[in-house]
Amino acid sequence: MCGIVGYAGEQTSKDVLDVLLDGLSGLEYRGYDSAGVAVANSSLDVYKREGDLSTLEESLPEQPPNGFAGIGHTRWSTHGPPSDANAHPHTDCDDRIAVAHNGIIDNDQELRDALEADGHVFESETDTEVIPHLVESAIDQGADVETAFRRAIDRLEGSYAVIAVRSGSEALYAARHHSPLIIGIDGDDYYLASDVSAFLGYTEDVIYLEDGQFATVRPAGVEVTDERGALVETSVETVDWDPEDAGKSGYDHYMLKEIHEQPHALRECLRGRPQGLENAVLLEAVADVTEPKRVHFVACGTSYHASLYGARLVRERGIPATAFLASEYDSDVIPIDGDTLVVGVTQSGETADTMSALRDANGAGGTTLTVTNVVGSSAARESDHVMYIRAGPEIGVAATKTFASQQIALAMLSSALTDDCSQEFVDALRALPDQVQSVLDDSRARAIAGEYVDSDAYFFIGRGYCAPVAREGALKMKEITYKHAEGFPAGELKHGPLALVTDRTPVFAVVNRESNPEKMIGNVKEVESRGAPVIAVTDTPEAVRNHADHVLGVPDTHWRFTPVLANVQLQLASYWVANRLGRSIDKPRNLAKSVTVE
């Protein structure tokens, strides 16, 4: 959600505008509805447009001026609708200061009222525009730019990652609070971004800014200070993602590529963890964690569905476990103490609701563990423990390979927390990558999806471990097709949803031979008798063939892992429906990859 990029470097090394546009291109996957850049030279050149990056590029002059430094932004609307005026960067009254901002300023109206009373004129409806005017006000009172920027930030309440640039200057000024901001270093060239994908083609060496830190970035170097202005020692880390991994590799969409990358992603997630000789799962992340008395999973969206699956695994092994929507997690009403392990599941490690829940848990005395894909992310740094799922870059907004990797990571976590493992469990884990590949190779989902493109709605049902995957299947369908879809435990059919079932509402039934298959077949008969087409996704095709219009089979595996394989079939079905409908599969409308506001 929203993306920031900044660049300051030797004037002869790179064209500032080209670097900014490259960076914004790398951030497109996060979701946005307008884009803009500001280049500092003797003046300040600002270009911004509603729409996608190509619209911005078409609006640029044939020979745009180069500069000393610059900032760019892709905006996802919160304050004010998409428009040229509301696009970032925003400037002060005299167009001396330009600012790009991710997050939400909670006290923006109060600040705007005070600034307008002092004669400042605003051009947009955004909360962000107060920032350059605050900087301008402090400069007019005699402060230098760096001091003025710090004073402006001190007056903000809310969440923010902010970069500012001034005309005539080669410096960038940055600060963060509850929103990610990363510095990239390549000799005398320096980058700032909300995501390493903005500069991964230039450098893999990064500094992660922490909450409350400020950075001044010039070609001469980087200076990081704390809230009091004291210098902070920083360490340079190397990002281990290959820029080539972020390409489409010949696939029509990132989503399809990432579905097909799942065997590799699972191999990476499993690497070095299941131990066949010892019948154990070794996880450094929890090596020193005492078995908790209770486990709380906090997550959103797809990660919440993975958490539902993980919580069931932990409960089955004897520890009370609950999955909470992170936005509903509140330590004032949910008991948390030193015996509580709170597991934040977040693909990006920056999800605002999940971050808030983890901070709440830390404050209440719980032990926190983050399960994430992004090394160095905010959640990884702020939790007591971290487990990486190692899925590699995921560009498509609709999560695919990260969901599969989350499922496997949580399966291993449930085993490691309780020392409950078996040879069968380890063997099944190790077989999963090849089994996923066999699903990809043999799936008939494309042909089946073609029959139901014009359906009114789609229903997804499952029981036990398959219920979370039914929910995830529905989420994928609605995200990328814009069609109504619902997923729920199959037993809930007769408690309301059955009223919506018709011959124009196909039902995807995930049937696991170990999760009440007889009851699932009863549910299949319920929708069949109402005329609904049934697509069974199952490891037991012989049991459902007479009651299903189509069967999408999955290989035999440990019954806990059937949902992992079934999910691949559901991903493919959703993808091919969306493809036939001509949807924007990688960047669905109104959605963002990294949701950094609550």
Tell me the three state secondary structure of residue 94: coil
Strands (E), 92-220: 97-105, 158-166, 172-177, 182-186, 189-193, 205-208, 214-218
Element holding 109 (H helix, E strand)? helix 108-117
Nearest-angstrom CA–CA distance, 290 and 292: 6
The count of residues in the chain is: 598
Nearest-angstrom CA–CA distance, 155 and 59: 35
Nearest-angstrom CA–CA distance, 565 and 440: 10
Nearest-angstrom CA–CA distance, 29 and 209: 22
Q: Taken in order 577, 582, 584, 586, is the CA torsion positive or negative?
A: positive
Chain position carrying tokens 């997690």: 329
Cis peptide bond prior to 61, omega within 30° of 0 = no
Instruction: Say which amino acid occupies 496.
Output: G
Are 472 and 403 contacting, i.e. CB atoms less than 8 angstroms apart? yes
**Angle at alpha carbon of residue 401, lines to 398 and 405, rounded to 5°:** 125
Nearest-angstrom CA–CA distance, 200 and 18: 15
The DSSP result for 34-83, as a single string, is EEEEEEESSSEEEEEEES-HHHHHHHS-SSPPP-SEEEEEEE--SSS-S-
Instruction: Say which amino acid occupies 574.
Output: S
Catalytic residues: 2, 593
144, 149, 151, 155 alpha-carbon torsion, rounded to 10°: 160
